[in-house]
Structure 1
């Protein structure tokens, strides 16, 4: 049903590593370059593109973010993390579905930059930040009931945002992490999840406006765009940027210490194992 081989294991860990790069860069750019963060996620990918071996890093992010999206998609489809099928379990699984969509969009944006020359792909094709996401949204809106689909997706992102805050405050994410992880993992994750709750809420609101309102696809905000929306908000912006930077460090820890669930071949019951 679901590939639980070592190849899948390493694909997921590559996903966490790619997520670490992304969030760390978002945090650093937000704190050091107002102009770059004003370009949203595109500004982050442009900065990565300018690194030595930047294109190779972008391709790593394409593979990793796509792998992470696949991992999250396995939750609503196969209940890979054994959340159950009651109301609470489905809330978590729907949240994971929203995460899958968000990271798939980020993988697509990274792909646009990786296949472009001189950054003309991701940024140029969309006419501004979040171009890839806005193009995808335009396609959805062109379909019958497309606005309803986007609006419902926005509501899912609100659920995702609520789950992020709950994780950050409760620390229940620690039961998915090996006991060998560093002691600072709890507070790094707590701060990071709360910061993600803020930006996911902004993403959700942009989708609701695009789907149920009259704003259209231009209203869509991606991860970096959501943080850019907070620019000029003083302490709220700074705290959120620091939180996302800490979440990047937290994701790097997860690349090594996250417990990847396996599906028992005999019983078919999801179980966890330490890395």
Structure 2
């Protein structure tokens, strides 16, 4: 048996599928926390950072938090491995899953969530409190010190905007429906899941687009302090106007919807 055949067999095993489902649930938990922080932000409160690291830090603060963080860290690892398996063997449930585009998208998602998993394990090991937003601003500063750095930051921002718009499109068109094992879903649950997926994915896309916009703006103005991660994008939107606070409130509810949708993925998505 070749290494490729063994890897494919592992990726199709029940244990691996269970780990992937844990990963979807872990992602859902993080988005529920981020969404709740964004709700508080829209209400004029000062919540923890509304990003992945802020959510993980909040978990640690509570009784039993380290145990839950261990579960989330393992789940994020499982999610990343699931995406890497899709990149290697094709995207499950997608008729075009063996084509280059979907597989590259899964590879990108795998790398992103591997980074989040490393962050979670790092937080468990060191309990460092350095913010994700601060890390992004420092990274942007270092990049823009180079001659082509300003262009690179602008290009990254433009790519993030495109990703955000693509998520909005996928949400509105309900492209996610093809990934579900409909035979396993109770008929009454489908309408709720479709609503959560539409609203949640669209809201997530809006947040990505806002983050990309602030990166492009930082490059355009040659001002790294204007580079915003998820937390900074939401806080800046709230600060701009009352309309901005309303927008963040709607997006916050959407992120909570996406978190609940991730639990539906954990239950009924094809893996």
TM exceeding 0.5: yes
- Larger mean CA deviation between 129-138 and 47-56 belongs to 129-138
| 1:151–1:237 distance in 2 versus 1, CA, 3 Å | same
Is 2:253 the counterpart of 1:246?
no
Q: Distance in 1 between matches of 2:69 and 2:77?
A: 12
1:105-141 per-residue CA deviation (whole Å, 9 max, x = no partner) reads 4333323322234xxx0x23xxx44345556667777
Q: How far is the alpha carbon of 1:144 from its aligned partner?
A: 9.3
Q: Distance in 2 between matches of 1:55 and 1:152?
A: 38
Which stretches in structure 2 are left out of the alignment for 5+ residues?
none
- The TM-score with structure 2 as length reference comes to 0.75
Which stretches in structure 1 are left out of the alignment for 5+ residues?
261-275
Q: Distance in 2 between matches of 1:174 and 1:54?
A: 33
Structure 1 counterpart of 2:237? 230
1:159-217 per-residue CA deviation (whole Å, 9 max, x = no partner) reads 3212211221111211111223323100011000001001111233345456787344x
| 1:48–1:22 distance in 2 versus 1, CA, 3 Å | same
1:211-252 per-residue CA deviation (whole Å, 9 max, x = no partner) reads 787344x55544444433433412211110000001111111
The root-mean-square deviation of aligned C-alpha atoms, in Å, is 3.3
CA contact (8 A) 2:35 2:253 kept: yes
Structure 1 counterpart of 2:197? 189
Q: How far is the alpha carbon of 1:151 from its aligned partner?
A: 4.8
Is 2:166 the counterpart of 1:163?
yes
| 1:257–1:163 distance in 2 versus 1, CA, 3 Å | same
> What SS does the corresponding residue of 1:115 show, helix, strand or coil?
helix
Q: Which has the larger radius of gyration?
A: 2
Q: Distance in 2 between matches of 1:18 and 1:64?
A: 5
Q: How does 1:2-21 map to 2 (within 5 A)?
A: 2=8, 3-4=10-11, 5-21=13-29
Q: Distance in 1 between matches of 2:141 and 2:86?
A: 27
Q: Distance in 1 between matches of 2:104 and 2:266?
A: 23
User: Higher helix fraction: Structure 1 or Structure 2?
Assistant: 2
Q: How far is the alpha carbon of 1:156 from its aligned partner?
A: 3.5
Q: Distance in 2 between matches of 1:176 and 1:136?
A: 36
- The TM-score with structure 1 as length reference comes to 0.74
Q: Distance in 2 between matches of 1:93 and 1:152?
A: 22
Q: Distance in 1 between matches of 2:218 and 2:197?
A: 31
Q: Distance in 2 between matches of 1:210 and 1:99?
A: 25
| 1:54–1:165 distance in 2 versus 1, CA, 3 Å | same
Match of 1:32 among 32, 35, 40: 40
1:14-64 per-residue CA deviation (whole Å, 9 max, x = no partner) reads 110111110111112222363124564443223211122111222222222
Q: Distance in 2 between matches of 1:85 and 1:212?
A: 38
CA contact (8 A) 1:164 1:193 kept: yes
CA contact (8 A) 2:19 2:75 kept: yes
Structure 2 counterpart of 1:80? 91
Structure 2 counterpart of 1:173? 176
